[in-house]
Structure 1
Amino acid sequence: MIYVENEYATLKRVVLAASEFGYARKVREDDLRFLPPASVSDVEAHIGMDFSEAHPEKQRRWEQERLDLRQVLEKYGVEVLHPRKLTAAEKQAAGDDGYANFFVRDPFFTIGNCVIEGSMRFLHRRHEVLPVRNIMNTEVLPADCTYVATPQPAIAAPDDTTLGEGPFLEGGDVIVLGDTILVGNSGLASNAAGAAWLKKFMGKYGYKVEMVRLSPNILHLDCALGLIRNGLMVVCEEAFIDGLPAYFKDWQKIRVTMEHATMLATNGLPVSPEVYITDPAFSFIGEQVAAFGIKVEYIEFSISRSFGGSFRCSTQPLLRKG
């Protein structure tokens, strides 16, 4: 069964990201503005290298982080699936742009019983859906669900810093709230054209789609808010240009600063309304979550976070229900 009811229903089946990254040979400084300074310096220092070659010890720790996440998920009965690794041909085809197979949340996403391949803005992520196609073939195609792809983005002029008109639509920007869907737009990932396409497609299934404008230093909507259970969220309110969506007016809020948001403080992962995963770096959030009677699992995730993503970014649910 393929179905995602909302962000906090019990997680039963999930795709967990691989840990592959290739540095670009041409660095676009403006597209690094969401990263911490140490990560920007690292990108500039390892032009054209594979991360595993540049940092073998960090690569080992990165893979261990994902293994630790898998073990916690399986402890709660979650079935965990994995993308395949990038092929040599796929890495070569990336050319000067670099390559990525590291945050499975973004290249596709699940709304209800619709599985949608996204359209990525960053050049090094344009083909990141390819390693997930094995799961599409074995798990999605045979299922009673809709499977569709966002239109591929337009080709931009070499000097176009916006990377063109898109449409861009990435899973980190897509928040599922029953029949209401929020789509973030900071200028770094999803854009208005992507949100408009999703509104047209999902409208026929009875969904309402609302675009949410974000601070230009926030990569995705899930870097500004995280839903823990119905009525409870962790949020950086200053990241919302037009204020927090009205949907959350009556929700209880664990508030974080913009500094914490850029460290991925909101990007935890609810396993169910009773269990929440976060990094020990955010124990101050975990303590507030626990005060609501929710079990908090802590997993060290600093290497993953150095790439600009955390627990939600590293997972894509196929079944979240009940």
Structure 2
Amino acid sequence: MLKLNIKNETSRLRAVVLGTAVSNGPTPGIDEAYDPKSLEHIKAGTYPIEADMVKEMEAVAKVLEKYDVKVYRPDQIEDYNQIFARDIAFVIDDLFIKANILPDREKELDAIQYVIDQIDSQKVVRPPEEVHVEGGDVMLWNNHIFIGTYKGSDYKDYITARTNMEGVNYIKQLFPNKIVKEFDLVKSRIEPRDNALHLDCCFQPVGKNKGIIYKSGFREESDYMYLVNLFGKNNLFHITREEMYHMNSNIFSISEDVVISEQKFTRLNKWLRQQGFTVEEVPYAEIAKQEGLLRCSTMPLIRD
């Protein structure tokens, strides 16, 4: 049996689901793009090819194995994108919560059924249909749960709006003893530089008391200030619009002092090293073209 335990983003990682880029399928058509960044690359003819993405994900698997992390990979679905394991489910404490994702991604859950079978069935839950909540929007910080959402009245018109207020309230009911704080995110269907697809596109804690943040990803300054007050301004690394576009806030922590980061994030990686982190650099720029990076392609199951 898998004894799940996730209380924050940075404690020592022991077990994780890492997505796969094998048999990723053909380049989608313009009308099949789920986000503005993929759309941009489809139109430009620069959409990533499978061989490059497989190489990138293998580099991450190697780093995880180096640190003795148990790595689970999804069963292969032919011609299907299974990279972003974070979207389909997430763990809070010892509960495995399945996300109500875009309907045609249901197969991705089936592909990790062999992992779910190792979890106590009473610890696996699925929210009711009207509840939308994706793992990229859910961030744990000990007694806090941060959740990205979109409060605009046009929520249903945005394929980039992935977590609704019903999702926030559902998590509040499941975890009445935690401080659940939602953040209203900036969304765009057409400009990837102005689209925070998930909370981890504009914020993520690192280490014990630090974080990476993109101020303009929040629709309300008060939401941004909440994090500044909680972490302290000097503990937050502020990224630029262009760095947000390249997903600088979407790195992944193996422990409180080890992170996996994209090799081209020079400014961020330098700052992390100055703060005492070991930075394991990997190439991940091709996967980033689909508006997801290291946090998006991992689903932690157990941290110490």
Q: Same fold (TM over 0.5)?
A: yes
Counterpart mapping for 1:88-103 below 5 A? 99-103=80-84
Asked whether the 8 Å contact 2:35–2:291 carries over to 1, the reply is no
2:191 is matched with which residue? Answer: none
Q: Does 1:255 align with 2:258?
A: no
Deviation for aligned residue 1:33: 2.5
Q: Please give the secondary structure, in 2, of the residue aligned with 1:259.
A: helix
Classify 1:33/1:246 alpha carbon distance in 2 versus 1 (closer, same or farther; 3 Å).
same
Aligned pair 1:172/2:139, yes or no? no
Candidates 166, 181, 184, aligned match of 2:145: 181
The amino acid of 2:123's aligned partner reads T
Residue 27 (1) aligns with residue 7 (2): no
Percent identical among aligned pairs is: 23
Shift of 1:207: 2.3
Structure 2 residue corresponding to 1:128, chosen from 104, 108, 112: 108
Q: Is the 8 A contact 2:251 2:261 kept in 1?
A: yes
Give the match for residue 190 of structure 2: none
Match of 2:259 in 1: 276
Distance 1:304 1:26, change over 3 A: closer
C-alpha separation in 1, matches of 2:66 and 2:43? 36
SS in 2 for 1:106: helix
What is the rounded CA distance, in whole Å, between the counterparts of 2:263 and 2:283 in structure 1?
A: 6
User: Is the partner of 1:265 in helix, strand or coil?
Assistant: coil
Q: Distance in 1 between matches of 2:127 and 2:45?
A: 32
**Distance verdict in 2 for CA 1:39–1:236, change over 3 Å:** farther
Equivalent pair of 2:258/2:277 in contact (CA under 8 Å): yes
User: Does the aligned pair in 2 maintain the 1:212–1:245 contact within 8 Å?
Assistant: no
Match of 2:13 among 11, 14, 17: 11
Residues 123 and 34 of structure 1: CA distance in aligned 2, closer, same or farther (over 3 Å): farther
Taking the aligned partners of 1:291 and 1:25, their CA distance within structure 2 comes to 43
Partner of 1:230: 208
Query: Which residue pairs with 2:180 in the alignment?
Result: 209
Alignment check: 8 A CA contact 1:173 1:220 kept: yes
Determine which of 100, 116, 120 is the counterpart of 1:141. 120
* Structure-2 residue corresponding to 1:158: none
TM-score (structure 2 length as normaliser): 0.84
Work out the CA distance in 1 between the residues paired with 2:274 and 2:52: 31
Secondary structure of the 2:147 match is: strand
Distance in 2 between residues matched to 1:9 and 1:39, nearest whole Å: 37
Whether the 8 Å CA contact 1:174–1:182 is kept in 2: the answer is: yes
Letter aligned with residue 178 of structure 1: N
Aligned letter for 2:132?
F
Aligned alpha-carbon RMSD (Å): 2.3
Aligned partner of 1:255: which letter?
Answer: H
State the alpha-carbon separation in 1 of the partners of residues 39 and 30 from structure 2: 19
- TM-superposed CA distance for 1:104, in Å, is 0.3
Map of 1:107 onto structure 2: 88
Aligned to 1:4, the other structure's residue is in SS state coil
- Whichever residue aligns with residue 182 of structure 1, its letter is F
Matched letter for residue 288 of structure 1: W
Cα distance in 2 for partners of 1:190, 1:141 equals 26
Q: Structure 2 regions of 5+ residues with no counterpart?
A: 188-194
Deviation at 1:60?
Answer: 1.3
How far is the alpha carbon of 1:113 from its aligned partner? 0.7
CA distance in 2, matches of 1:287, 1:39: 32
| 2:243 is aligned with 1:239 | no
Q: Distance in 2 between matches of 1:22 and 1:124?
A: 16
Larger mean CA deviation between 258-267 and 169-178 belongs to: 258-267
CA contact (8 A) 1:226 1:267 kept: yes
Between the aligned partners of 2:37 and 2:258, the Cα distance in structure 1 is 29
**SS of residue paired to 1:129:** helix
From 70, 73, 79, the equivalent of 1:82 is: 73
Return 5+ residue gaps in structure 1 as ranges: 44-50, 92-98, 153-165
Looking at structure 1, the residues matched to 139 and 170 of structure 2 have their Cα atoms a distance apart, in angstroms, of 16
